[in-house]
A and B are shown apart, each in its own frame.
Chain A
Amino acid sequence: MTLRVLRPGLLTTVQDLGRPGYQNQGVVVGGAVDRFALRVANLLVGNLEGAAALEITLHGPRLHVESDVYLAIGGADLSPALDGEPLPLWRPLLAPRGTVLDFGAPRRGCRAYLAIAGGGFDVPVVLGSRSAYLRAGIGRALAKGDVIAPLGTPPRTRLRTSAYLHPALLPAYSPHPLLRVLRGNQFETFTPESRERFFQTRYTVTPHSDRMGCRLMGGSSLELQHAEQMISEAVTSGTIQVPPAGGPILLLADRQTTGGYPKIGQVAAVDLPLAAQVPPGGTVRFQEISLEEALSLYVARERALLRLKLALASR
Chain B
Amino acid sequence: MANMEPLGEQAVLVRLGTEIREETFYEVQALAARLEEQPFPGLWELIPAFTTLTAFYDPQVTSYEQACAYLEKALHSLTANSAPLHPRTVEIPVCYGGEYGPDLEAVADHTGLDIQEIITLHTSVEYLVYMIGFAPGFPYLGGMPEAIAAPRRTEPRLKIPAGSVGIAGQQTGVYPLETPGGWQIIGRTPLHLFRPEHERPSLLQAGNSVRFRAVSAEEFRECEAERR
Interface residues of A (CB under 8 A from B): 20-27, 29, 126-127, 135-138, 182, 185, 231-236, 238-239, 256-258, 266, 268-269, 291, 294-295, 298-299, 302
Contact = CB atoms under 8 A, between A and B. Distances in A.
A135 B179 contact: yes
Residue in A235, A256, A257, A268 whose Cβ sees the most chain B Cβ within 10 Å: A257
A258 B46 CA distance: 12
B172 interface: no
B31 interface: no
B49 A295 contact: no
Contacts of B8: 182, 236, 238-239, 266, 268-269, 294
B45 A266 contact: no
Residue in B8, B50, B136, B197 whose Cβ sees the most chain A Cβ within 10 Å: B8
Given A137-B196, A185-B13, A234 B52 contact: yes
A280 B137 CA distance: 31
Interface stretch (B72-80, B88-96, B200-208): B200-208
A137 B206 contact: no
B50 A232 contact: yes
Nearest to A295: B9
Contact of B44 (A21, A24, A138, A182): A21
Contacts of B155: none
Contact of B60 (A20, A25, A127, A302): A302
A257 B47 contact: yes
16 contacts: A26-B138, A26-B202, A136-B196, A182-B6, A185-B13, A231-B20, A232-B133, A232-B134, A233-B52, A234-B11, A234-B47, A234-B52, A239-B8, A257-B47, A269-B10, A302-B60
A231 B131 CA distance: 12
Contacts of A232: 49-50, 131, 133-134, 140
A20 B56 CA distance: 10
B7 interface: yes
Given A20-B45, A231-B20, A232-B49, 13 more contacts: A20-B44, A21-B45, A25-B202, A26-B194, A29-B45, A126-B197, A136-B196, A233-B51, A233-B52, A233-B54, A234-B52, A266-B8, A295-B9
Contacts of B19: 231
Q: Across chains A and B, which 6 residue pairs bring their CB atoms closest together, nearest first? A: A258-B133, A234-B54, A234-B47, A25-B202, A26-B132, A233-B52
B177 interface: yes
Contact of A233 (B49, B56, B200): B49
Contacts of A302: 60
A235 B134 CA distance: 10
A25 B59 contact: no
Given A21-B44, A27-B201, A136-B177, A231 B50 contact: yes
Nearest to B162: A137
B96 to A, nearest CB: 25
A127 B196 contact: yes
Contacts of B138: 26
Given A25-B202, A182-B8, A138 B196 contact: yes
A257 B6 contact: no
A136 B64 CA distance: 33
A235 B54 CA distance: 9
Interface in B182-228: 194, 196-197, 200-202, 206
B178 to A, nearest CB: 9
Given A136-B196, A257-B133, A258-B49, A236 B179 contact: no
Contacts of A238: 8
A24 B54 CA distance: 10
B48 interface: yes
A231 B13 CA distance: 13
Contacts of A23: 45-47
A256 B132 contact: no
